[in-house]
Chains A and B, each alone.
Chain A
């Protein structure tokens, strides 16, 4: 029931999805230690930083790593699988509290309650990762707050229930301060329930390593890609918002691996990906042609 083996895909129940293989992650500083400590103390974690710097990857990595260290004992939900379940919810502006908590579905004879992803994570004792949390409706704070302080409870008013979180449960949210408008700032009352880890773009050496690993290109190419990333990020306050993420650099690298010429690969993966402004594209293209022969 847990796992339906099909030809090429696997299906998991939300709360049973566990990161099984070690994700590649190069730490920027001491974030692994901090996260580990926070998890032990069950302090919710807030990840700050622009898109594509590895926030999601970090959460995956930590879920795997913490799961390893607990040797499966951490998850006692049904004792079947080792590791900590990871429930990721990408928030959008129409995401309401009931999308997280659950809702009634119409059944043959009446209605049936279906737990939302957050409820499942709370019950299963997993890490619930709310990506870009400020995007969600304000009513989500109502459920986030009791889960992130000493109470650790989830109120489901439609059911008239209160669920005490499994000891393994931890809420992690991410938030991108540069990108949101002032209107969509995280409220202080929410913010102060989390310890915050700041992510920025990795240093060129680190980024080179990441690109080498992820894209499978040689060190030299990776270095140049990292340089491109650095240069494009210099344009941050120039309408590019966040600059090129490590992700697009990796994509460019992968395309090159497939034999796409370097300049073209950068053009489609980086230049056109980050901006629609024709003039800015041209400038970025000039940077590309300067770096890649």
Chain B
């Protein structure tokens, strides 16, 4: 009945009504009506139109919804039954009641969504969207977005899954609509990649949203990585993630990200095990799981998976003992972790064995040899380019940072040893001491003859065009070089401007520098190997092993063009290859000659000059070998033949060598290279380096050592007669420098290298005191151990009181000599405090005389003690056994004191003393290095305008008075200042070293004491302690003068706990005490009592109530401390 009534309005009235709305409504209606005409009965159509009208009429903007309703109706209608269709429109209408734009989105998304929705889910779906809407603009955007994206979501998600997702969004939207819409959008992209773990993922997301919604962002970011791993692992990872979230305090994002990365990093068969390990850790300490996964790839880079399990087990043990220690274990920053890793890993890291090897090298060479990672040499940019290959430049041996060539650690270490022995050999057996003029011991010297003919050549044959020698023309590079190199040679002949080094002079003899250099390198290496194996028999086995290994890495001879093949032949010969040595058949006689030469110099008595002579000969032999490829069957096994008869070199041989060197040996060419005419010759390329021999650059090394030598002799004056031009010439000519593509680049590279070389030459101690303004190397606090690479830098461990263990090699202390100012400050202080000076002197005079103490009752001594003798006689007379202890002896109490004063030069000492009541606790410096510089500068500027006394001034005055008094006592003392910024920049200024005698420079250095940066006390104390340990005094005292608590960037955990710094300082002091040093701390920080109690514990300290008392108090304290 009611239906009848409602059916009242006719199509006509409805249409008229609709016409009152903006045009799109009517347009939509009409279009849809045409489409639906046949499918619906009339009444249904009327109802439909009426529904549309109702929607349009709901609110002001709902006409848009109506238009959209009409527009999508035909498509929707096709998918639904009549009733369902009505339901659909009613739901839409209800939505429109809430918000027209919601309805718009609903209608718009319907055709797409309904393809995947069951009709009965329409209500629920609409409800999901509606639940996101909370009447605000942002929520409506979110809800619309949801409808809009439903078709996309449904492509991968089931309806239940989508419902869950919607619920998640709802929870999240309570916190942030923006985040929710972001997740919505990202979800669309993400879900297809997650496979069947979508639901699990949504579950975790939901949990994250409930627990720590901010983390959702990171979780979604990290989840991208989830797509890259196997489904099984993914699901386990997500299960774990769920548990992690449940246990709180963990970033699910990080976990998912690192977890996926770790899983991806291991072979599939192990990934399950990896997750089991993570689960095991989770059971004990959920916080450590992420760190474990994050660090796992690095660890796995060094050890096998089986070893990794052991590493994990060890960590679990530690974790169970204490979560903090376990945490840093799994982070890889704890000493234990590194140690365990090191024991497990087969690879050997240079940094771990550096000290041992360095001392070893020094022992062998008898010189101050430094050891460094090859990385550093490459970074110097002075001509070395390959960081994987060992080398030396005369004083420093460069070794690759890690070696993992052999399965066992011992073998890898042996590799290091062999390499360093070989490199030391360059120094020990004089590779760089080559002198052009020095005669060889085994050969007829060709060098003097060659020089003559070369000079003649340059003069006479200059206009003559270079004969078109096939061999020479082989390399375009060579041609370019020889034409360019022609002038210098001519010049050298004309003007006596000799080449910079003897090595250069030698290589100047050859037209093909590269070839000569290669030959020389092999020959010299061969001599060294022979010498080393003769001198050091214990290393022979390792040496052979390394050689055999090197042989395995060699390229196949037969595949090389002939000349290169011959060079390769020499290399293999030098590596002691016995069998299967191939040489081109045509050049068997040449090979025999070469082999004979090599055998001669492979002798411990050979000298580098012998090698040079052999080089000339081999080079001459090689120039006759064309550099083209020949078929494999042209090669045959090398047959040394009747080699045993030690052939004397024939004069005609020498002639041949000389001729081919001076480019007149073409005669033989036609025979040797017959049949090769017209064939393409290949450019000669240097052979691949033999890994253990490394890059050998005699020219550069000789240059560098020459430069150093000159400098030593001239002590800082301009380096002797080596001009920049000469250097440049050397660099351009030298075949040791990698040729780069493009002329311009080459030019640039050379220039840069030249600059760097000159810098290297002029390397002096960094004198600049105000290096506080210099650049800081910023090392992340999260980073790993540091390494002392520069001169005068030292690394120290730092105590992490939370983890209850040391962070190994955590701080880098740079020791610098304090710059000198003038001594007016010193003089003024002495004048201003004249009466105090007198007073101190009087006090100290009393200390001076040596104190003797008489010790009685000794069995032996200087003389009888009368009383005791009487007693003894009495005893004897009365029949008792007399005591034997009848002597006395004087015991001298010697003043044998070494004291190190450690001055706090932190920025806070810039404070005026009158306002020192200010709270010193807040250093207030920004953490960001850039901001810090700005802050520092303004602070400095403040300091410059001062007319008042600063804390540091008082410190300085006290030191002046003390120095003055100490000179009287004759105690050994050192004065050091420290400051720094961050763990990699602890600056340690030497004002007076313990070993240094007092001189006029000391007052001048005191003058330059100035406030700098922060106060990282621990490393400074450790370093000063080291200094004291070098002294042999009986009592050693570490006297620290400070103005506040230790603090520095990263000298705390999470930047808030001041405890960290205090504890590290305490441990540093305890270390000192354990080493027999008496620490004493004097502070002017009135608030000092609270932390000093912890820091100094059972050690003595004093808090000065008034800084102005310092000059008076300091000498007094010193006296008390030392008598």
Contact = CB atoms under 8 A, between A and B. Distances in A.
Nearest to A158: B863
A236 to B, nearest CB: 10
A231 B360 CA distance: 9
Interface residue range, chain A: 20 to 34
A284 interface: yes
A293 B540 contact: yes
Contact of B869 (A103, A106, A287): A106
Given A263-B538, A292-B537, A293-B541, A287 B364 contact: yes
Nearest to B540: A293
A289 to B, nearest CB: 5
B355 interface: yes
The A interface is mostly helix, strand or loop, or mixed, namely: helix
B110 interface: no
Contact of B359 (A181, A283, A289): A283
Contacts of A205: none
A158 B889 CA distance: 15
Contacts of B896: 183
Given A106-B869, A137-B892, A293-B541, A283 B864 contact: no
Contact of B886 (A106, A224, A231, A280): A106
Interface in A55-105: 94, 96, 98, 103-104
A290 B538 contact: yes
B87 interface: no
Interface in A221-249: 224, 227, 230-232, 234-235, 238
Given A106-B872, A111-B864, A287-B364, A282 B538 contact: no
B539 A290 contact: yes
Interface in B682-729: none
Interface in B535-556: 535-541
B417 interface: yes
A98 B539 contact: no
Interface string A247-278: 00000000000000001000000000000000
A289 B538 contact: yes
B355 A279 contact: yes
- Residue from A224, A234, A286 whose CB has the most chain B CB atoms within 10 Å: A286
A211 interface: no
B863 A286 contact: no
Contacts of A183: 896
A291 interface: yes
A205 to B, nearest CB: 15
A255 to B, nearest CB: 17
Contacts of A292: 537-538
A238 B862 CA distance: 40
Interface in A195-229: 224, 227
Contact of A98 (B537, B862, B886): B862
Contact of B363 (A137, A263, A283, A293): A283
Given A103-B863, A279-B355, A290 B362 contact: no
A21 B869 CA distance: 45
A291 B538 contact: yes
A238 B362 contact: yes
A289 B543 CA distance: 12
B233 interface: no
Given A106-B869, A234-B365, A224 B537 contact: yes
B365 to A, nearest CB: 7
B231 to A, nearest CB: 50
A78 to B, nearest CB: 29
A288 interface: yes
Given A98-B862, A183-B896, A293-B538, A286 B872 contact: no
A234 B363 contact: yes
A219 B862 CA distance: 51
B363 A232 contact: yes
A235 B360 CA distance: 9
Contacts of A263: 538
B356 interface: yes
Nearest to A286: B360
A227 B541 CA distance: 19
Contacts of A111: 864, 869
Contacts of B356: 279, 282-283, 286
Given A98-B862, A103-B863, A235 B362 contact: yes
Contacts of A289: 538-539
B359 A238 contact: yes
B677 interface: no
Contacts of A234: 362-367
B156 interface: no
Nearest to A282: B356
A279 B538 contact: no
B32 to A, nearest CB: 89
A145 to B, nearest CB: 19
Contacts of B364: 231, 234, 287, 290
Nearest to A98: B862
A104 B538 contact: no
A284 B536 contact: no
Given A106-B869, A291-B536, A293-B541, A98 B863 contact: yes
Contacts of B360: 283, 286-287, 290
B1032 interface: yes
Contacts of B862: 96, 98, 103
A285 to B, nearest CB: 9
A181 B362 CA distance: 25
Most B Cβ at <10 Å: residue of A94, A283, A291, A292 = A283
B150 interface: no
Contacts of A96: 862, 889
B164 to A, nearest CB: 61
A153 B399 CA distance: 65
Contact of B537 (A94, A231, A286, A293): A293
Nearest to A184: B1032
B536 A290 contact: yes
B970 to A, nearest CB: 9
Nearest to B1032: A181
B421 interface: yes
Contacts of A287: 360, 363-364
Interface in B858-875: 862-864, 869, 872
B169 to A, nearest CB: 61
A232 B359 CA distance: 10
A276 to B, nearest CB: 14
Interface in B832-857: none
A243 B891 CA distance: 33
A290 B886 contact: no
Interface string B340-371: 00000000000000011111101111110000
A286 B542 CA distance: 12
A118 to B, nearest CB: 15
Contacts of A283: 355-360, 363
Interface string B639-670: 00000000000000000000000000000000
A200 B998 CA distance: 32
Contact of A290 (B355, B417, B889): B417
Contacts of A227: 535
Across chains A and B, which 10 residue pairs bring their CB atoms closest together, nearest first? A283-B359, A234-B366, A290-B536, A290-B539, A231-B363, A286-B360, A292-B538, A283-B360, A293-B537, A289-B538
Given A111-B864, A227-B535, A290-B421, 12 more contacts: A104-B863, A106-B872, A111-B869, A234-B366, A282-B356, A283-B358, A283-B359, A283-B360, A286-B357, A287-B364, A290-B417, A292-B537
30 contacts: A94-B889, A103-B862, A103-B863, A104-B863, A106-B872, A106-B886, A183-B896, A230-B366, A231-B366, A232-B363, A234-B363, A235-B362, A238-B359, A238-B362, A263-B538, A279-B355, A279-B359, A280-B359, A282-B356, A283-B355, A283-B357, A283-B360, A284-B363, A288-B538, A290-B364, A290-B417, A290-B539, A291-B536, A293-B538, A293-B541
Interface of A: 94, 96, 98, 103-104, 106, 111, 137, 158, 181, 183, 224, 227, 230-232, 234-235, 238, 263, 279-280, 282-284, 286-293
